[in-house]
Amino acid sequence: MKKMGNFRKKVLASQIASIVLAGMGASAFAQNVVEEEVIVTGVRAAQERAIDIKRNATNIVDSVSAEDIGKLPDVTIADSLQRITGVQIKRSGGQGSLVSVRGMSEVLSTVNGEYFLLPASMTTNGADFTDIPSSLVSGLTVSKSQSASSLDGGIGGNIDLLTARSLNMDEGFSGSARLQLGTGSITSETDPELSALVGWNLDDKLATSLAISYGDSTLANNQGRMRSDRVAESWGCTGAAGDECYDLDGNGDMGGDFINPMNWQSPEFSSRQIERERLGLVYNFNLAVSDALELNADVFYNSMEERSAGQFLYLGNQIGGRAGFHEYVKVTGNNAINNPGDGTLGGQPYYATDMNMMVSGFVAGVKGIYRDTSATNSNIELKYDNGGAFTGSVRWVSGHASSTSNDLTLSQISNARDVVRSEGGTAENINPGAIDDGLIYPMSVKLQSDSVLVNIDEAMVAKMANQESWYIHSGWVEGAYSGADHDIFRADGSFALADEGITSIDFGVRFSNRDVNFDNVSFFSPSGLFDDDGNELLNKYHEAGYAVGQAGTTGTAEGVTYDPLPVIQLEDSALNGYVTNVTSFGEVLQGFNGTVPMVDTNAISDPIAFLDELYGEGEAIVNPDRSYSVTDSKTSFFVQANFEKELSDSVMLTGNGGVRHVRTDLKVTQNITDPNSLNPRILAGVDPNHTTYTDLGDKVTNVSYNHFLPTLNLAFDFGENYKLRLAYDERISLQNLSKLGDGSITYYSTEETLPNGDKEAWQRVSSRQNNGNPYLRPWEATTQNIAFEWYPNDSTIVAIGYFDIDIQSFTYDKVEQNPALADSDGVVRRGAEERTIANGEGGSVQGWEFSYQQSFDTLPSILGNTGMTFNYTYSPSESPSDKTLPNGDIAPFNSTAEDQANLILWYQDDKLELRLAANYLGEQYTGDTSGWMWSPANDADGMPQYLNSTMFVDLSGSYYITDEVQMTLSVNNLTEEDNIAYTQWSDYVHDYDLFERRMTLGVNVKF
């Protein structure tokens, strides 16, 4: 058969040799390809390998090699993935975390072609690499078309993390190490990171290697959160003398009704630090048992301790309410609302972003998330190849992962509150030093493009600085504990048939079992109140006065006349050593020049022990409506024909076609609850957030699905330089497990007043949310691809492709009015709204992908040491036709940006390497928001929310002092780009996430 050029060469050895010599990864590409002894290094080599991988792949793939991840420092795996066409990421503390491919978050992540457990995503169908140090991974491949041999699980695509076999390392002993120190423009901490690789190869017969990575980082997390409310010029007044109404915007029209961000919990400003301590280990053992058998064993361990903690400040209208707008006009004669915008799309005349009001106090507090994760994944594989027609392998994979998260919230408040503290006693002010002077302190709030400008009256600022003004209004801890185990056995084979036509048949069978348990937990402390049997009731939020306020309900607080819960003042001895003065609530809040005494989160290492110190030793109780277990068992087999046919002297056809059958057996165990059966040990009304449901037993649902997934990949080579690809495949992805296992929760509204003046003896049902549905079908989609690629030489590619993802099955919230829902006393009266997760159909994502990569080695002088990568993705999407926006347009599908682009410029000579990488992400539709204040002008479910376009720029460089020692420097987020999100109108910002610039200095040593 005629061979066409050299572009069919496989390059495993060149990849591995350069990666090991670069020394920063724990591993290299582990694929069944022919070895070729070509040793290359540097940014240029990485780009050329990525081109070669794409060129020789049967499927449509993109890749990132070790030079991109290991040698020039990328913060996370996700940060490297964002450079690939169609890949978008979300950020946590400025670092990449969640990954989506072609607008779909349903992405399968694997290691060396097989599933493994990630703590961050063990209960989801997405890819989140927050827990994994990037230095443990030497390469990434994103598969955008599937073959029958591909694992099921990704709708947008599959992401394969690649690690090495020790037999591909240099003979004898070899290794490398890297030490890095990083710092941020906001945190200013010095963060160490150490990674190392050592290996030993005995005559290419026996080899072993160990990679280790340790890092301790502190990241800034400055946020501003706006939540909407309404205020009208006719509210709270009659217009009579002494009860005048006021023209809030000064336009002479008293019909003003304004959507605004002065909610009872908004604006919220917070300054938190995210501390992440990561440890990762990869061990590999390779043995050439004989000329025909090779044994490969891997252990991949990773763990992370994370603390995200800091202070927050609410400048909203919880104290004083909407009356503060009217009072400002009354007292000053000036406008309370300046330059309002046209709010008609939201159903109100105006929206406000520049406001003045009178205030009487604020809410502040502490939030901390304390998370520990770990995972161990192991793999044993035996491969057979005696040079004959048959090759095969058997493989066993096992893993265990766990995640523990405890979220602490302390809320302090500056107002007075009268509470009866003892049986038969009289009400007393539990905050005697409160700021309780009424609405006399002016404040202005103005939303800006990247910050919120605030001006608070100096007299109020002075009172806020007084410890005696505050008390701990409430404090609580909620936890999420999850664990998972999985085992996989698979056998794969291939039988070579001919050099042309159907060249081989691949086949395989796979058995997998995954068990996942998830517990949502709340922590409860003694309340000081007892039931009729003398048992002390428990309390969740420690909010003095709450129980008395629930006396008229049918819960355990019914008839309560006093509340002895401990009241913690900031000057109390219980907080000795915990209180600090806070002068900054992050970069979002501008103009604030005050000081607030608050609990110091740096002094809290164990949130549960801290809560016990304040309120007495408590206990953890599982919330049965939000806890579940799922067993996911799969049996699959595939048959795939690989073919190669010379159609003419200049046209060659290669590809594969086949089918994969997947049987999925799900066992979903939910807890049975009754909205009228709340935990009798907990002091509460009928609000389920203050208590827990009683666990009435288990509901076990068994569901099975069968899917036949056909695939076809065709590649036409026109001469040595042009390739046309066509691909078709069908895909499935399991739902997020919470959507299968969560239960129902019923909410009630405050009792209403009867005509005789008495309160109703029940609370009216307001809604029921069915958060889980074990009968949900998996995500199902059909994907079609067409791509054209031009390879002028080994270091250049120009490619353009089109994809179409037709989504036959996804999930959405189905909202209906249910007249049969009962009130809190069990009597059906008027029913209420019911939300249920259901399967939808008809979503679609299409798009174009363009990529260009070139090394300019033909240019003269130093220009010959340069190169570039540019790619662009255009991917519009549509939800089903009945999902409309207020302007009448069809809403996009999922959280995806239509436009995405990457530009990488690099320089490399014998010693110096430089790289500038820019990632542009266009505006993203992130869903809609609803509420009583929004009344969209048409049948839209709510108001659309968008994330502004972003441009993240990273700069990195390295210099070889000797052949064995290399210095590195990187600057991530060079321009300090932020994430800013808005609702409907671009100036009506609802979220600010400000990210810092990070600088990292490092040294690499190889031996």
- Per-domain boundaries in the chain: 43-166, 212-226+261-319+360-1006
Query: What percent of the chain clears pLDDT 70, i.e. is strictly above it?
Result: 94
Asked if residue 382 lies in contact with residue 293, where contact means CB atoms within 8 angstroms, the answer is yes
Taking the C-alpha atoms of residue 540 and residue 687, their distance in angstroms, rounded to an integer, is 12
Q: How confident is the model at residue 404 (pLDDT cuts 50, 70, 90)?
A: very high
Mean pLDDT of 43-62: 88
pLDDT of residue 511: 98
Residue recorded with tokens 């945190």: 187
Q: Are 185 and 976 in contact (CB under 8 A)?
A: yes
Per-residue model confidence (pLDDT) at position 919: 93
Range scoring the smallest mean pLDDT among 319-323, 566-570, 685-689, 705-709: 319-323
- Label residue 95 by pLDDT band (50, 70, 90): confident
pLDDT at position 202:
94
CATH class of this structure's domain 212-226+261-319+360-1006: mainly beta
pLDDT at 67: 54
Mean pLDDT of 696-718: 97
Please report the pLDDT score of residue 319 as a whole number: 66
Higher per-residue pLDDT: 705 or 840: 705
Phi and psi torsions of 866, nearest 5°: -110, 170
* Sole residue written with tokens 């240019």: 859
55-69, 521-535, 829-843: least confident range: 55-69
* Residue 35 clears pLDDT 70, i.e. is over it: no
Two domains, one topology: 43-166 and 212-226+261-319+360-1006: no
What pLDDT, on a 0 to 100 scale, did the predictor assign at position 10?
Answer: 33
How many Å apart are CA 780 and CA 809, to the nearest integer? Answer: 5
27 — pLDDT class (breaks 50, 70, 90): very low
pLDDT band at residue 277, thresholds of 50, 70 and 90?
very high
Contacts of 715 (CB under 8 A, 6+ apart): 58, 653, 654, 655, 723, 724, 725
Given a cut of 50, is residue 283 above it in pLDDT?
Answer: yes
142 vs 158: CA distance, rounded Å: 6
Give the closest residue to 883 by CA, choosing from 828, 853, 916, 843. Answer: 843
In tens, the pLDDT along 511-524 reads 999 999 999 999 99
Q: What is the pLDDT of residue 74?
A: 64
* SS3 per-residue string spanning 290-346: CCCEEEEEEEEEEEEEEEEEEEEEECCCCCCCCHHHHHHHHHHCCCCECCCEECHHH
Q: How would you write 175-197 as a 3-class SS string?
A: EEEEEEEEEECCCCCCEEEEEEE
**pLDDT at res. 751:** 66
Confidence of residue 967 (pLDDT cuts 50, 70, 90): very high
pLDDT for 5 beyond 50: no
Lowest mean pLDDT among 133-137, 635-639, 793-797, 866-870: 133-137
Helix or strand holding residue 365 (H, E): strand 363-385
For 573-614, the pLDDT digits (tens) are 889 999 999 999 999 999 999 999 999 999 999 999 999 999
User: Which pLDDT band, with edges at 50, 70 and 90, does 41 fall under?
Assistant: low
pLDDT tens-digit readout, 442-454: 999 999 999 999 9
Ramachandran angles phi, psi of 709, nearest 5°: -115, 95
- The per-residue pLDDT for 366 is 94
At the topology level of CATH, where does 43-166 sit?
A: Ferric Hydroxamate Uptake Protein; Chain A, domain 1 (2.170.130)
- Crossing angle (nearest 10°) for helices 42-56 and 12-22: 150
Residue 24 has what pLDDT? 34
Residue 9 in this model has a pLDDT that exceeds 50: no
Dihedral (C-alpha) 830, 833, 836, 841: value to the nearest 10 degrees? Answer: 120
> Which pLDDT value is given to residue 237?
75
Give residue for tokens 């065709």: 714
Burial profile 242-271: b = 16 or more Cβ within 10 angstroms, e = fewer: eeebbbbbeeeeeebbbbbbbbeebbbbbb
Q: What is the pLDDT confidence band of residue 679, given thresholds at 50, 70 and 90?
A: very high
Q: Which of 69-73, 304-308, 688-692 has the lowest mean pLDDT?
A: 69-73
**pLDDT for 114-144, tens place per residue?**
998 888 878 888 778 888 888 888 888 999 9
On the 0-12 / 13-18 / 19+ scale of CB atoms within 10 A, 820 is exposed
- The token pair at 978 is 């932020």
Q: What is the pLDDT of residue 675?
A: 86
Q: What is the mean pLDDT of residues 850-856?
A: 95
Q: Predicted confidence band at 318 (pLDDT cuts at 50, 70, 90)?
A: low
